[in-house]
Structure 1
Amino acid sequence: MFQPELTRVATGGALYKAPLGTPLPAAGVATDLTKWTSLGTFTDDGVSHEFSEDTDEITSWQNGVVRTLVKGRKLTLKVSALESSKAVLETFYGSALTAGGDSKSGVLDIKATVSRPRETYLFEWQDAVGQMWRLYIAVGQVSDVESPSFKNTEAVTWGFTLSALGNAGSLAQWQITDAPVLTAAGITVTP
């Protein structure tokens, strides 16, 4: 059976961060920007969701592989931010941007070593009205950055990878308010 109506295109979305312990917004409720900080506009590459497993295969002499054990999982989000905002620079460098000596400047100290902050992240995307998908990462941390380039022919981008570190045995949680997807798989949507 084919169900082309279940094809989704991420036509818009956003990535937010908040202090550890910030809860996932309730389904159908807009993200409260007093609790969450937007990481702004990204390149047209969008947000890459990477997911992998570290496995061990148990083999027998007679039958080959008889079981595969999952030893661990890794979930990351990779983005290239176009905005040179306070939130993006602090996320990229892992340091706080502080006020400078006057009202028109700021200082961001780039340390030789850094203990990157662990924060809560929320990635939202939608295809159409009523089709919101939210990936909630209760504990996440920047695990990799891409060097920005400064040219007069292109925008400066701040590329970074967010890694889900896990919280109470869970790496992340999808919240899906897209009734056709839920009901198509035989899942009953509860009021």
Structure 2
Amino acid sequence: MAEKQLLDRDDILVGAPDQQTTGAIFSAPIGTTLPEYPGDELDKAFVGSGYVNEDGVTITPEKSKEGIKDWSLEVVRELLTEFKNSIAWAHLSTSKESLKNYFGDENVTTEVATDEHGNIIRAKLNAKDYPRKSWVFRIKDGDNRVLIVVPDGQIGEVGEVPFQTGAAITWPVTMSTFPDKNGDHVHFIFDDGKKLTAGEHGVDG
């Protein structure tokens, strides 16, 4: 007998950011210890990059297949020939951290305030490549938490930056992900927030 599936409205989640003072997107050098649970404290090497605009974060996996045809030219089998994945968002904050994501770490420098000028950020736009890093995205919906971990990701594209009266400046980026040692590009960890009380036992499914 097939297992009975119950409708549960708690399974419907929204993708709001889980942010406090640092935003919900973090990056660190590859090799930094990665979190295993949504509630884990991040390694100090992870740096937050501030607010993201209302479009949020979009993950786009792409699979390419090639068909194998028999003598009559009917497709009898398909082979996966390529897999790639990208993650896109637009920074709403104009900060050292968000600008490093847009321009590249080596292309952003800062100067502290003096009696002649305030805190300065200098950014250069050029053809230099972007560093590969580990990334963490934190999402929440009530008690639910979602942790998205990218062990190896690199900003590959940047978008148009609007400078308009009455509109916030945004810094759109698209990151390519690469497989970890197990061949996985992205790890998703979901926590429904329903913690057990003393004496209760969980059930693995």
- Is 11-20 or 60-69 further displaced after alignment? 60-69
Identity, % of aligned pairs?
22
Aligned 8 A contact 1:58 1:65 in 2:
yes
- Structure 1 runs, 4 residues or longer, greater than 4 Å off: none
Q: Which secondary structure does the structure 2 equivalent of 1:88 belong to?
A: helix
Q: 1:163 aligns with which of 176, 180, 190?
A: 176
TM norm structure 2: 0.78
Contact 1:95–1:108 (8 Å) recurs in 2: no
Larger Rg computed on CA atoms:
2
**Does structure 2 retain, via aligned residues, the 8 Å contact 1:95–1:109?**
no
Correspondence for 1:185: none
- Of residues 18, 25, 47, the one that matches 1:15 is 25
Please tell me whether the aligned partners of residues 69 and 77 of structure 2 are also in contact (alpha carbons under 8 angstroms). yes
Task: Please say if residues 38 and 147 of structure 2, whose CA atoms lie closer than 8 Å, have aligned partners that are also in contact.
Answer: no
Q: Secondary structure at the match of 2:94?
A: coil
Query: How big is the shift at 1:133?
Result: 1.6
The amino acid of 1:99's aligned partner reads T
Q: Secondary structure at the match of 2:138?
A: strand
Q: Could you tell me how far apart the structure 2 residues matched to 1:68 and 1:128 are?
A: 42
* One-letter amino acid matched to 1:12: P
**Superposed, which structure 2 residues align to 1:1-191 within 5 Å?**
1=5, 3-5=7-9, 6-13=11-18, 14-32=24-42, 34-62=44-72, 64-96=74-106, 97-100=108-111, 103=114, 104-110=118-124, 112-129=126-143, 131-168=144-181, 169-178=183-192, 189=204
Unaligned 5+ runs, structure 1? 181-187
- Which whole-Å CA distance do the structure 2 matches of 1:56 and 1:121 have between them? 32
Matches of 2:46 and 2:146 in 1, distance apart? 17
- AA in 1 matched with 2:204: V
Shift of 1:62: 4.8
Q: Residue by residue, what CA displacement relative to the aligned partner does 1:127-178 show, whole Å, maximum 9, x if unpaired?
A: 221x222121111000111121111210000000111022222212122223
The letter of the residue matching 1:65 is V
- RMSD after superposition: 2.4
> Aligned residue pairs: how many?
182
TM-score by length of 1: 0.83
Q: 1:69 to 1:38 in 2, by over 3 A?
A: same
Amino acid at match of 1:92: Y
Q: Cα distance 1:107–1:40, how it changes in 2: closer, same or farther (>3 A)?
A: closer
